[in-house]
Structure formats: C-alpha cells, structure tokens
Amino acid sequence: MVRRISFLILILSSLLLFSKEVLFNTYNNTGIVSLTNRTFPFETSRDLEPFKASLETIYTPPKVRGITIDLPDSTTLVLSNGVTIGVDVGDIRIPEDVFAELLESTDLTFVYDAFPVEVFSRDRVVVKGSITKEKLEYYLSFFFKKIEVPRRIEGTIDVTPKPPEVRYSKVWHPLIGTVVFLNVTDDSTFVTLWNGREGKLWYQTTEATKLEVEVVDSLGQSTSLSFEALPVSFAERSYQSSVEFGQSLILPPLVNWFLPSTGEKITVFSPEFPGVYHLIGCDESGNFLRMEIDVRDTTPPLVLSPEKIEDASSFRVEYICDGREAQKIPDGHHVVFVKATDTFGNTSTAFFVVNRPHRVIVRERPVPVYLGPKRKIQIGGLSLKGSLIYGWTREEVEVMVGEEVYKLEK
C-alpha cells in the first residue's frame, strides 16, 4: 500500500511540473514562452551563436559586507552553455515580469536562433527568408497545436512573399501634360509613393520631370518604377472683352471657341444674362486660350410711346398724366410723362401728347347720341353742326367733335 501511494505522488508531481521552452527569435528580437504563447522583446549585450540549452542554475547575488567583489548585483538565469539571462544584467535581457514567470519554473529549455517567419493567423503565415522544414514546424508549434507542412517540400523552404505587381499606363496630352495610371495587384494593403510622397493610383504633372513611384505593401515588400514626364506643349493666352447686354459678340476667327458649361462650339457669343462669362478655345498651333467677357447692361429702355417700351431686360413704368400719377392713361386728350427703369437702374423719360378716342357703346339702334353743345361735327367725311347723332350703318363709326375723337360702337 505504501509503494502504491508513493507511485501516485510521483505521477502527480510530474504532471504539475510542466516543461517550458523559451524561444529567442533573433530575426525580429522577439521571445516566445511555450504553453502560454506569451511574446516579449529582448536585447543582447554581446554577439551569440545559435544554441539550445537548459537551465543550469539560478544565480542570486550574495550579501557581502566590508569588501568589494565584481559580481552581478541582480538575479540571473545561468544556462548549461554558460549564457546568462536577466533583467538589467546578463547576456540576454528580458522584461521583469517575464523573468519573474521563468523563476517559477524549474524545467526550462532555451532556443536561440533566427526564424524569418511572421504569423498572422492559421490561414496567413509569411516566410520572409530561407528556413528548413524542421525549423518552420518547430517555430509554428509555438502558435498552433497542430499544423502540417506539406511533405513534398524538403530541405530549405523559400516562400518569401512576392513584391506588389504593378502595371502602368502613361498618357500625354498637349493641354494637360502627363498622366500616369497604376494597376496594383497584391495580397495585402499597400501605399503608393510619388517622388517620396504618398499619393493615389494616378499622378498628373504639367512639367518635364522624372517621376519615381514606389508601391510598398504591409509586409514591407516594394516595387519601384520611374517615368519621364513630358510637359504641356501649348502657350496659354488670356483675353478680355465686353459686350452690351442684348447684343452679340462675334468671336475672333481661326480659333475654336467653346462654352465650358456645355462644351458647345460657338462663333458668336449671345449672353442670356448680364455677368462675367469665360470661354475656352484652342488655335491650330495647339495654344490654349481663355477669354473673359464682361456682359453689362448700360442701355436704358427705349420709350417709343406710352404703350411701346423696349429693353433687353425687365423694366417698370411710371406714368404722370396731366401732372398726376396714374396707373394707366385714360381716354381723351392728355399730356403724359413716361419714366421707364430697367432691372439694372438704367432710366429713360419722355413726354407725349395723347388723344385717345372716347368709346361710346350703344346697346340699341337707332338711338340719339348727345355730343354736347352745338358745334362742328365730322363724321364719315361729312362736316355738320349740331348736338346729336342719330343712327349709323357700320359696326363702328369715328366722330370728331372739335379736337376730341369719339368712337361709337354697336
């Protein structure tokens, strides 16, 4: 019975004391602790050759008084090959919390070597240098419980990621210079640098220069290209002109002129509104031309009569009839002052003497129409004196009574 109990205690002790491996990857100066998969940075105080060693002892500095001894003043791990590991002393120096974790373990194995591998996930493992199959499988065992490297790949495995594949198209035009378009194929994200400055997948320049473009992906792989850019080959010229609103401007010949808003080719410019317009054009030599046209309305409305007023823009009219403001001109003999003002403040005035006919509508026929005291009446080419008109045959007849005109309508 005693022997069985002792055997059980031995089994439990072996299960409780797990063996840990500590890997120092000199490729990126990153350490990994097995079981916990904890990663940490490390530094070295001297050059070391690749090794695999176990823990030999733990050095604790002695307490010595009265004399000076050149001994490490911090606790260090001493390996079987003589390499020491500590926090602020030793050949390999690691963070304090990692060192404290290692002090709690008695069965430790240390591996110091270069493993040019970056692990992002099970589906994405990037080997960035030459490495044997055995070393690759050993390194990946720190990250995955089970992973299999294809058996047909033996010896040295070189799966260094390829740099971005960059295709380009370069276009030149005399009016815009050189434009370069890029098409990038890469499995990771990337940035595009044009002459050292981050940019887009296209670049445009109007100068004669050399373009250096570099596409760098997230793995540090890059592809560089260079281009010779041609400048624009036109002389840019600017013109200014003006035209009165309501009139048209005949454009200079031997130049193709276009409206920027619609792209319409024109030979005569007819503005629809006052303001500043810009036209673009090019001549047979490829020169690029700009024309700025100032369209102004400085012409006042043309007052032809109280009823007929002309202007290129909208306007308002004021009437003063026989010295009084009026909304419209009444029938009869009047002196009328007309004032017309357009939208842009241009004003015209004029005087008119109007003799609007009085209109008398007769509902029944015949009927006498009294025209006032007896005086000279002209009707249908006949002149007579009287005060009344009785009956007529036409639908409308005009009667002159003195200086006033009457129109009689049925």
User: Where is 96: in which H helix or E strand?
Assistant: helix 96-103
| pLDDT exceeds 90 at position 95 | yes
| pLDDT exceeds 70 at position 17 | no
With beta carbons less than 8 A apart as the criterion, state whether 20 and 34 touch. yes
pLDDT computed for residue 69 by the predictor: 46
With beta carbons less than 8 A apart as the criterion, state whether 294 and 271 touch. no
- Total number of residues shown for the chain: 410
Confidence of residue 339 (pLDDT cuts 50, 70, 90): very high
Q: Give the pLDDT mean for 20-35.
A: 90
Name the more confident of 308 and 373.
Answer: 308
DSSP string for 352-373: EEEEEPEEEE-SSSS-EEEEEE
List the single range of 10-19, 23-32, 179-188 with lowest mean pLDDT.
10-19
Residues 327 and 157: their CA atoms lie apart, in Å, by 101
Q: Give the pLDDT mean for 262-282.
A: 88
Q: How many CB atoms lie within 10 A of CB 183?
A: 10
Phi, psi at residue 392, to the nearest 5°? -160, 165
pLDDT computed for residue 114 by the predictor: 92
User: What region, left, alpha or beta, does residue 402 occupy, with left being phi > 0 and alpha being psi -120 to 50 degrees?
Assistant: left
Q: Give the pLDDT mean for 22-43.
A: 90
Q: Give me the torsion for CA of 142, 145, 150, 153, rounded to 10°.
A: 20
pLDDT computed for residue 48 by the predictor: 92
Q: Give the pLDDT mean for 255-263.
A: 84
Give whole-number Cα distances, 101 to 36, 42, 64, in Å.
Answer: 11, 15, 28
| pLDDT exceeds 70 at position 130 | yes
Give whole-number Cα distances, 290 to 155, 261, 280, in Å.
Answer: 70, 14, 5
Q: Give the pLDDT mean for 301-311.
A: 88
Instruction: Give the 3-state secondary structure of residue 3.
Output: helix
Q: Burial level of 338, CB count in 10 A (0-12/13-18/19+)?
A: buried
Give whole-number Cα distances, 44 to 41, 85, 309, 357, in Å.
Answer: 11, 9, 99, 118
Give whole-number Cα distances, 135 to 23, 50, 155, 235, 392, in Å.
Answer: 12, 13, 10, 66, 129
pTM over 0.75: no
As a whole number, the mean pLDDT across the chain is 79
* For the chain, domain boundaries: 19-114, 168-229, 236-296, 302-356, 358-409
Residues 151 and 136: their CA atoms lie apart, in Å, by 13
Which is nearest to 91 in space by CA: 100, 78, 106? 78
| pLDDT exceeds 60 at position 310 | yes
Q: Class of the 19-114 domain?
A: mainly beta
With beta carbons less than 8 A apart as the criterion, state whether 256 and 263 touch. no
| pLDDT exceeds 70 at position 8 | no
> CB neighbours of 217 closer than 8 A, spacing ≥ 6?
163, 164, 186, 187, 188, 189, 190
| pLDDT exceeds 80 at position 227 | yes
Residues 395 and 298: their CA atoms lie apart, in Å, by 48
> What residues pair up with 117 in beta bridges, in sequence order?
127
Of the candidate CATH numbers 3.30.460.10, 2.40.50.140, 3.40.190.10, 2.60.40.1380, the domain formed by 236-296 belongs to 2.60.40.1380
pLDDT computed for residue 231 by the predictor: 84
Instruction: Give the 3-state secondary structure of residue 36.
Output: coil
Residues 201 and 183: their CA atoms lie apart, in Å, by 7
Confidence of residue 92 (pLDDT cuts 50, 70, 90): very high
Residues 53 and 87: their CA atoms lie apart, in Å, by 19
Residues 61 and 75: their CA atoms lie apart, in Å, by 6
366 upstream amide cis, omega within 30 of 0:
yes
pLDDT computed for residue 38 by the predictor: 86
Q: Give the pLDDT mean for 116-129.
A: 80
Paired sense of beta strands 358-361 and 404-409, if any: parallel
| pLDDT exceeds 90 at position 110 | yes
